[in-house]
Amino acid sequence: MNKFSIKNMNLWYRDFQALHGINIEIPAHQITAFIGPSGCGKSTLIKSLNRMNDLVEGCRIEGEILLDGQDIYGGIDVNALRKRVGMVFQKPNPFPMSVYDNIAYGPRTHGIKSKFKLNEIVEKSLYDAAIWDELKDRLKKSALSLSGGQQQRLCIARALSVQPDVLLMDEPTSALDPISTAKIEELTIKLKKDYTIVIVTHNMQQAVRISDNTGFFLLGEMIEYSDTEKLFSIPKDKRTEDYITGRFG
């Protein structure tokens, strides 16, 4: 069962074409990784999956991106889309408010007022993000007082609080130390039973450790996309092989 189907997608920023003819099926309840050198289009593609690129002036998209068969660029409410497709960024970006209010923020904007219900959501989201035990006695503390790794798991909990179907992660561990990185990788693997996860990573070992499928991007093209093990052990394209063996990138 595919969660996203991307068909003949091209994307421009004004006159610059950032993505060329992308065709990809992203399966539900799996982790799909996008790898490739800086500026190759992988973050541009992931941001198209919840229309974050709408915020960039002069951005134009051709082709189709279907979420559960529905074209996300045709007549769909962007707020409803972003509720279904959550995003975690490269640098942890908690709101300057308490741990509790960070998690309750999304559900409140979607109309949940009941204190009991909000308490439940905060606990479940922090629990699902594997940080409840660390934070349960610090819910009233500022989220900005947490360590970088805790802030990033808080941001994952915040994304989960509105019960999305999909979690997009744009280099979620690149600003973190190895221990925090390991925690987030472990968490990501756990989350795929309930969510479809798409992750952009610079770290090829990370893609090997956690993803089921990997797409390799170069200069705005998707060069190769397959089962992660296959792509890393028997790449079909010479450019993929050169990249994963460290000849460039």
pLDDT in tens, 104-138: 999 999 999 999 999 999 999 999 999 999 999 99
pTM of the model: 0.95
One-character DSSP codes across 78-147:
HHHHHHHEEEE-SS----SSBHHHHHHHHHHHTT---HHHHHHHHHHHHHHTT-HHHHTT-TTSBGGGS-
In the chain, what are the domain boundaries? 2-95+164-244
Task: Could you list the beta-strand ranges (E) of 36-80.
Answer: 59-67, 70-71
Instruction: Give the closest residue to 3 by CA, choosing from 192, 160, 158.
Output: 192
**pLDDT at position 249, please?**
59
Q: With a cut of 70, say whether residue 189 has pLDDT above it.
A: yes
168-192 burial: b if 16+ Cβ within 10 Å, else e: bbbbbbebbeeebbebbbebbeebb
Percent over 90 (pLDDT), the chain = 94
Residue with tokens 């993000």: 129
What is the CATH topology of the domain spanning 2-95+164-244? Answer: Rossmann fold (3.40.50)
Q: CA-CA distance, 6 to 63, in Å (whole number)? A: 8
